[in-house]
Structure 1
Amino acid sequence: MSLGPSLACIGLMGKYDNPLHIAIFEPHSAVESAHLEFSFLLNASLDIFELRASDRNRVDQDLGMLQAIDERLSTWGWQTGTGTKFAVIVDMWGKQGRPSTGSAIKGEDLKPVFKALQTAYIRLLQNPFYTPDDHTPMAAVRSRGSAGEIKSKKFIAEVKRIGDVWTPGLEKF
């Protein structure tokens, strides 16, 4: 069991701010209302994504820490050139669910996570059977429903693996 910070949630949002995938990790995944709570936190970070991405001096895709939610949780962001957003919510208490001493997160700690997520997403887009247009708000209008989340078992498993194994200082996945 991890004794330091861990990932509580990974969110992938489309360029129209539509949710594409949300993964929640232990111990939060055991809470019945976790999906709703983390969906709210991810949605709340979208305005910060917009502000940071509009900064004309920013060349890097890494948007750093978007917001500290409380002493336990913080949201970090990464945006692709096409406007797809990756958000990671870090739990400073980790999987043990209690504060750990001497823990601090730096932006460099999360770059491997974002690069691994981007690689997984690129592999998903390279799949000839995946149609990204099925996951846009316009697709929801055409189908008279909501825009669908990513259903690829391979992609979902890779996101879960990334969230389960990350620890600060991990350089590669």
Structure 2
Amino acid sequence: MTGRVPSIACIGILGKHNNPLHISLFPPEERAPLEYEFLLTSCLDIFEARLPHKTVDQDFGLLQAVDERLAMYGWLTNTGVKFVIVVDMEGRQATASDSKTSTAVGLRDADLKPAFRALQTAYIMLLRNPFYNPDEHSPITANAEKKVGSIQITSRNFIQDVKRIADAWVPGVTSL
């Protein structure tokens, strides 16, 4: 019996000024970019509402369920950068290696922690790059310096890491 297993539909990185730094869709040809950008920005109010009640834990868990199929989970870094993962509950066809997870109903918040940790590691590696300047991606700095162009992250290594994380994640995975 092969069913469908949840998969990551979108990974969004939102800057400390609530600007989108990076949005990846999986698979990109089946997703509407503008729809997911709206979904990601709709999470900002939820982050703000929960922020005063958070202590040390950066995992914001389930932010919102869009419908029966899409659910959005959030993670906040120490620098105020927000990671949002949109999970498609009917994401992809189950394979033989997914047989254990194909019978699962729903997700636990802990199922996404390995993906968030891997995303945070990829972001830290991006920040360690001496040629990457995070202030270039701030709308405040870009407007003050009258820079024209994208404030999105364009690092190929970072984009490849995000894709690897999305492709490798399945519910129940312990490390990515």
CA contact (8 A) 1:136 1:147 kept: no
User: 1:20 is paired with a residue of what secondary structure?
Assistant: strand
- Give the 5 Å matches for 1:7-156: 7-26=8-27, 29-31=28-30, 34-55=32-53, 57-96=54-93, 102-141=104-143, 142-145=145-148, 148-156=151-159
Deviations 1:37-88 (A, max 9, x none): 0000000001101111221x53200000000000000100000111000000
TM-score normalised to structure 1 length: 0.90
CA contact (8 A) 1:140 1:147 kept: no
Distance 2:112 2:149 in 1: 31
Name the counterpart of 1:171.
174
User: 1:15 is paired with a residue of what secondary structure?
Assistant: coil
1:102 positional shift: 4.2
| Paired AA for residue 78 in structure 1 | W
Question: What is the identity percentage for the equivalent residue pairs of Structure 1 and Structure 2?
Answer: 52
User: 2:13 is paired with a residue of what secondary structure?
Assistant: strand
| Paired AA for residue 34 in structure 1 | A
Distance 2:3 2:161 in 1: 19
CA RMSD, Structure 1 to Structure 2 (Å): 2.0
Distance 1:62 1:2 in 2: 29
User: 1:16 is paired with a residue of what secondary structure?
Assistant: coil
Paired residues, number: 167
Question: Which segment is superposed worse, 141-150 or 102-111?
Answer: 141-150
CA contact (8 A) 1:78 1:85 kept: yes
| Paired AA for residue 14 in structure 2 | M
| Paired AA for residue 48 in structure 2 | E
> Is the aligned partner of 1:160 residue 2:158?
no
| Paired AA for residue 48 in structure 1 | I
Distance 1:134 1:15 in 2: 13
User: 1:168 is paired with a residue of what secondary structure?
Assistant: coil
1:2 positional shift: 8.4
CA contact (8 A) 1:12 1:20 kept: yes
1:95 positional shift: 2.1
* Unaligned residue ranges in structure 1 (runs of 5+): none
| Greater fraction strand | 2
* Unaligned residue ranges in structure 2 (runs of 5+): 94-101
1:3 positional shift: 3.0
TM-score normalised to structure 2 length: 0.88
Distance 2:34 2:163 in 1: 18
